[in-house]
Structures are given as C-alpha cells and as structure tokens.
Chain A
Amino acid sequence: MLFAANLGKRFGKRWIFRNVSFEAGRGEALVVVGHNGVGKSTLLKCLVGLMSPSEGRVTFPGEDARSAIGYASVEQSLYGHLTAREHLGLFARMRGCPARDDELADKVGLREALDRFVGEFSTGMKGRLRIALAVQPEPSLLVLDEPGAGLDEAGRDVVQKVCEEQRARGVLVVATNDPLERRFGDLELELAG
C-alpha cells in the first residue's frame, strides 16, 4: 500500500502543492494530472525519495527501495558512452537483481539496439531504455513521469503493456496529461496550482 498524508513541497516561500493525501493498494493505478508547473514531477520525486517533502509523509512498505521502487522520467538522463546492455547490466548489479537484458530489450523493443551506445539513441529509444531500467527489478511500486513523451505508437503500446503488468504486480503511479495514458488509472489525483 502506497500512503501519502498531507504532503506539501515548497521552494523558498512558494508552495508548489500542499495537503496532498492519497492511498493506492496492490493492483491499483493512480494517475496524477494537472497543468504544466503544478508540481506533478515534484510530487513523483517525493514519492520515490528523490526529494524530501516540506511537510507530510510518504510510506511504502519495501525491504530495499533500490529494488522495491522503479522510476522513469523524461528528465532522467542516461550515459551516452555506455551501451543499453551495459546500462542494464551495471544497474542490475547495483540493485542486486538479475540483468534480464535480452528479455527487457524484447519487452521495450530495443533488441537490435542493445549493443549500441545510448549517445546514438533517439529520444524515443532513450524513453524505452528508461522504462526497461525502471521495471528491471520487478518493483512493487512503479512511478512513471510522462511515460509516453517522445514515444511513437509502438512505444506507447510498450508503456501500456508495462502498466498492465505493473498493476498485476503492485502499485502504479503515472503523471500525465495525455488522455490515452489517463485511461491507465483507476484513481485520479488532480493537482491545482
């Protein structure tokens, strides 16, 4: 169960959001919507621990956040001098999970590009690799920030499949304003500035 109570985040004196509370259990998907700059990405960073909330708290039971939480964001850069296979291999060793590089490459449609340097990847291919890295440890909480951004139709099908698998495995949180991606959720949280 993902549980957020009275979450608030401010930068300086400006509150980005306040009094955000929700809970989502296994098999549920929460979609966070709201116009640009309202704090969707900031909220997601608070959920995965990349930012500390200014008030309130987030709880998610997990033995080890490295393997319990998967996160993919369009803001997340990758290493241009490493191949996709090296990304999957090295980060699997850091998280203590199997690399499953061939399996994940098939899942996100990167099989032919697995041994190419990420610096040569298109925006969409990088998005697919971010998703592969996020689902690699088979996390019980998957958090996706604008997962369809920069993806073609086949890439969006990948996102849909990944989201369906995650709902069967644990909790899914997606921040988006895309009407198609809003369908993934059975809970919706609208942030208003």
Chain B
Amino acid sequence: MAISNSNWRAEVGAVFEKEWLVERRARTGWITAGLFGFVAVVAVALAGFGIKLTGSLSAGLLWVVWLFAATVALPRAFVAEEELGTANLLRLSARAHSVYWGKALFNLVQMSAIGLLIAVAYIGLVGAEMRDPALFLISVLGGLAALTGTVTFCSVLVAQAAFRGALVGAIALPMLLPLAALGVSSLRVALGNGFPEAGWQAAVGLVGYATLTFASGPYLFAAVWKS
C-alpha cells in the first residue's frame, strides 16, 4: 500500500521529536560538543591574545573547532540506537527514509545551533575582522549544513560496523578533507584574505556539497538499515 505524504511527514516528525526529547533530557551531544567548542575557542583566544590573526588562520581554526564538535556530537543519533539496542524497535515501526530524515534534520538543527554559538563566541573572543558579512553568513550556514550532511552520512555506515571507533576516522577523512578545504577557502575571504570571487565560488561549493550528502544519505541508509 502506498503511504501518503502526510504519513511520511508524521513519521519523520515522530523520529525528530524522539531525538529532540532524548537529547533535551540526556544532553549528551550538547554537553560534549558545546564544552569542547567553548574550551577550544577560549584556548585559541588566550593563545592569540594581543595578536591579530589573519583571515586564513581564523578560518582554519574555526573549521578545526567545528570539525571536532561535529564528530563528537552527530554520530550519536545513529550509533546510540545500535549500541543501546533500540534500533530494532525503529526498524519495525518506521521506514528507512523516515528514520534517516528525522535524524538528519535533528542533526542539522543541533549542529547549526552549536556551530553558530561557536562562531559567535569565536568572532567575539578572538576578534576576527569581518570583511564580507553576507559571505560569512553563507559560509557558516553552508559549511555547517555540509558538515552535518557529511558526518551524518559517515555515521550511518559506522553505526552498522563492529569496530566503530576505528572506522569513523577512516570513513570520514576522505570526505571531510575536501569539505574543510572548501569551507576554509570561503570563510577566509569573508574574514579578510583572498579574492571575493574565489570565496563565493567556494561558498557555492559548500551548498552543493551539503545538497549532495543530504540527497544521497537516504539511499545509503536504506541499503544498510535492514540487516
């Protein structure tokens, strides 16, 4: 029987709400990623106290903080279901695409909130110069979306594996390196280094990267979700 779109939306909404309620009460992702982000930003601010960081260095350091915050917080949405033994309840109750989208949307909301807070704290404490606010905004939003899509994509694979700790780095590395290069290229222009055209091209690349990972994620997930 074909299931209507309203049912699909209800399924996705229920999976999202489940993630939201569990995270709101457990706060595992917020505490680990938020604490890491806060400590990292303060450490960079203290290390660079009295020194004017270049746009390139500022962009690179901000991306390092985001990368680690994302890899700490985001995989939990899929990995915890397998580790805690709740995955079969979901398998029997919701279709794979609905589970993926519910969890991916939750990851996007969570990473956007954490990433924006880190960016605001970083700009405030490190004092990076803002040359192009529009490009900065696109770079931040596009970068966080692409980062969420990529880490979510990797965590789908990692969640099904026996040796998760070793796999996450191996799978994520080839996907995160080009993303980080694009993100830094875009952000460094917004923060005062490089040519505006190159910055905007990289920002468009970030949005494309995000679209690609979110579009292909459900198909990958459907293939690995059932045993």
User: Which A residues fall within an 8 A CB radius of B?
Assistant: 48-52, 63-66, 69, 71, 73, 75-79, 81-82, 86, 90-91, 93-96, 133
Could you tell me the distance between the alpha carbons of A51 and B91 in the complex, rounded to whole angstroms?
11
Main SS of chain B's interface residues?
helix
Chain B proximity of A131: nearest CB distance (Å): 13
Query: Could you list 4 further interchain pairs (A-B, Cβ under 8 angstroms) beyond the known A49-B226, A52-B226, A66-B92?
Result: A66-B93, A78-B86, A82-B21, A94-B15
Contact pick for B3, options A49, A76, A90, A96, CB 8 Å: A96
Q: Determine the chain B residues whose CB is within 8 A of the CB of A78 once the complex forms.
A: 86, 89
Q: Determine the chain A residues whose CB is within 8 A of the CB of B92 once the complex forms.
A: 48-50, 65-66, 69, 71
Q: Determine the chain B residues whose CB is within 8 A of the CB of A66 once the complex forms.
A: 92-95
Q: Is the CB of A76 within 8 A of B25?
A: no
Could you tell me the distance between the alpha carbons of A71 and B90 in the complex, rounded to whole angstroms?
12
B132: interface (CB < 8 Å): no
Q: Is the CB of B7 within 8 A of A96?
A: yes
Chain A proximity mask over B188-227: 1 for CB below 8 Å, otherwise 0: 0000000000000000000000000000000000000011
Chain A proximity of B11: nearest CB distance (Å): 5
User: Which B residues fall within an 8 A CB radius of A?
Assistant: 1, 3, 7, 10-11, 13-15, 17-18, 21-22, 25-26, 84-86, 88-95, 98, 226-227
Chain A proximity of B99: nearest CB distance (Å): 9
Q: A90-B14, A90-B17, A96-B10 are in contact. Are A77 and B84 (CB under 8 A)?
A: yes
Q: Is the CB of B85 within 8 A of A76?
A: yes
Q: Determine the chain B residues whose CB is within 8 A of the CB of A90 once the complex forms.
A: 14, 17-18
Q: A51-B227, A79-B86 are in contact. Are A91 and B14 (CB under 8 A)?
A: yes
Max count, chain A CB within 10 A of own CB: residue among B3, B17, B92, B98 = B92
A–B Cβ pairs within 8 angstroms, 8 of them: A50-B92, A64-B3, A66-B93, A79-B18, A79-B22, A91-B14, A93-B11, A94-B98
Q: Determine the chain A residues whose CB is within 8 A of the CB of B90 once the complex forms.
A: 94
Could you tell me the distance between the alpha carbons of A63 and B7 in the complex, rounded to whole angstroms?
15
Contact pick for B93, options A52, A63, A86, A95, CB 8 Å: A95
Chain B proximity of A135: nearest CB distance (Å): 13
